[in-house]
Amino acid sequence: MKKELILHGLAWGHLPAWLIEDELRDRRLISIAGAHLPGRTETLAAVRRRDRPHGPVAQALWLHLQAQVASGEAL
């Protein structure tokens, strides 16, 4: 909803870069980040319980995330 409001010129605010990369590239949106409005850094974390076994899908996802981090690729 926030993205739609911003795209229609009815609001402004922070949106994560991955969500608006196409709009930034084709100039439907422009960044207003600068010296007085630097933006922010997003931190992602993946956590899981250690006291219970995980199913095959959860285990496959965990291994995929570990491989992405080890290779330095963006998620």
In tens digits, the chain (75 residues) has pLDDT values of: 999 999 999 998 888 888 999 999 999 999 888 888 777 777 778 899 999 999 999 999 999 999 988 887 665
Helix, coil or strand: residue 46: coil
Q: CA–CA separation, 36 vs 41, rounded Å?
A: 15
Cut 0.85: pTM above it: no
In the chain, helix, strand, coil percent, each to 5?
40, 0, 60
